[in-house]
Amino acid sequence: MTVAFDEMTNPDGSIRPAYAALSRWLKEVPPDVLDYRRKEAEFIFRRIGITFAVYGDSDAQERLIPFDIIPRILTNLEWQRLSRGLEQRVKALNLYLRDIYSKREILRAGIVPEDLVYQNPAFRPEMNGQKVPHDLYVHIAGIDVVRIDADTFYVLEDNARTPSGVSYMLEDREIMMRLFPELFADNRVAPVENYTDELLATLKSLAPATSSNDPVVVVLTPGIYNSAYYEHSFLADRLGVELVEGRDLFIKNDVVYMRTTEGPKRVDVIYRRLDDDFIDPLAFRPDSVLGVPGLMSAYHAGNVTLTNAVGTGVADDKAVYSYMPEIVKFYLGEEPLLKNVPTWRCREADHLKYVLDHLNELVVKEVHGSGGYGMLIGPRADKAQIELFRAKLKQDPGNFIAQPTLALSTCPTFVDEGIAPRHVDLRPFVLTGADRTRIVPGGLTRVALQAGSLVVNSSQGGGTKDTWVLDD
């Protein structure tokens, strides 16, 4: 494996310009001060209750995501390039979904294989031929990006369902400003605190035609036992809208109402943080008590906007991902500004053969997996794991893709041994409204805290960092 690109320090020991002020500061500040501030940060997170739940780990019902106090820095120029690419990509995702649920030109053109749509568990036949408000499907997208060298960013994954993590982006910044005001005096950091205002403007712009001039927006949560509950309540609070559970809503004459102390009140836009399967027991899983019976029929009647739309999962799994460059070209007639990680589709025989021959070099992922579960990291796996995946691959090749083990970039991180480089990725959040696209500069940087580890997922011990876009 090649040596990873470090975002602060060049191989010759010189410091990249964006990190100049930070590097000076890191040299001056005594380690015990850093340690003290780290503990302070953890104390604040714990007291505010910024926690998440790890499924299958009952002892740690509420855990903190570790927060690293050293920020990750991007220049404005890097960000401009990135954000143009993100906007283009999300535009293509929206056009793709509109096409898949209407004319399916991309299938007829033979660009995306039909079975990737029809046999995809996230494909929702209920959405066929249904018009959604403003023809938009993915209003809130989280696009995971990794960096390989000074110039190359790859998209690692598109999250078009209910991407989470934005509360950490916002809280990390708040904590950093509280703990290290001197750093913000030395660096001109683009603010992110307007994210929730941008989100509210986006959600209101998406209101259905039948709503009043001042549409009523709510956040729909599965409830306090959901792993991202903190984020749901945080967002509702910052948006200044009600945080509802399924039981707070009901449908009458295809209109959605919430139960309030003053009687029923009409709801126009639902920012739902509940998977498709659970939103309406009449349309999907009948055993779901989290959803709202009849919601889909109100949705089809055009009386409510669901963000994101139902059925967006058909655009963000890892098999479709490999076609994203073609999808961008097909709908926009442009070259993709952001590259994909080179990907082998195990559904194709020659790709499968290559993957089976190189299992010890590759990362193999399940097409529908997420959260870093169910994947093989070849160079780190033992023989038994490799053989297990070989068997799985042979049994159901279509369920897997493979990618080279990327040398993800590293950033200085404060760990037990002191300051050391750790691998990072980035999840910027792209908001698509009926009026325009909005992206606040930065996003959520996730960091693998174990030396050498490439797994940044919070469910697997990854941490987060504040992400700075310098205004240069």
Interface contacts to another protein, rule CB under 8 A:
46-49, 223-224, 229, 233-234, 236-237, 242-245, 247-248, 258-262
Q: 241 or 447, CB closer to another protein? A: 241
Place of tokens 């098999």: 319
As measured in angstroms, the least distance from the Cβ of 239 to another protein is: 9
Alpha carbon distance 187, 407 (integer Å): 28
CB 216 → another protein: shortest distance, Å? 12
Q: Angle at which helices 324-332 and 76-100 pack, to 10 degrees?
A: 80
H helix runs in 359-441, sequence order: 383-395
Conformational region of residue 428, where left means phi above 0, alpha means psi within -120 to 50, and beta covers everything else: beta
Identify which of residues 219 and 327 has a Cβ nearer to another protein in the complex. Answer: 219
**What minimum distance in Å lies between the beta carbon of 224 and another protein?**
5
Q: Closer CB to another protein, residue 223 or residue 404? A: 223
- Residue among 441, 409, 440, 437 nearest 425 (CA): 409
Give least dist CB 262 to another protein, A.
5
Instruction: Please work out, in degrees rounded to the nearest 5, the angle formed at the alpha carbon of residue 209 by the alpha carbons of 207 and 214.
Output: 50
Which residue has 């306090």 as its token pair? 224
Residue among 284, 238, 125, 295 nearest 117 (CA) = 125
Q: Round to whole Å and give the CA distance between 448 and 440.
A: 24
CB-based contacts of 355: which residues, under 8 Å, 6+ apart?
344, 346, 362, 364, 393, 400, 402
Q: What's the CA gap between 126 and 101, in Å, rounded?
A: 9
Q: Taking Cα atoms as reference points, which of 8, 31, 11 lies closest to residue 20?
A: 8
Our CB check for another protein shows the closer of 257 and 468 to be 257
Q: Which residue number, 6 or 174, has a Cβ lying nearer to another protein?
A: 174
In the complex, the smallest distance separating the C-beta of residue 446 from another protein, rounded to whole angstroms, is 25
Q: Where are the beta strands (DSSP E) in 170-329?
A: 217-220, 242-244, 249-252, 255-260, 263-266, 269-272, 305-307
CB nearer to another protein: give 55 or 118.
55
Helical pair 31-48 and 166-179, crossing angle rounded to 10 deg: 130
Amino acid, single-letter form, for residue 302: G
Closer to another protein by Cβ: residue 39 or 188: 39
**Residues 424 and 409 sit within 8 Å (Cβ to Cβ):** yes
Residue 167 or 340 having the CB closest to another protein: 167
CB of 230 to another protein, least distance (A): 8
- Residues 450 and 356: their CA atoms lie apart, in Å, by 28
Considering beta carbons, is residue 51 or 210 the nearer one to another protein?
A: 51
Nearest residue (CB) to another protein, 1 versus 48: 48
Question: What does 143-161 look like in DSSP terms, one character per residue?
Answer: EEEEE-SSS-EEEEEEE-S
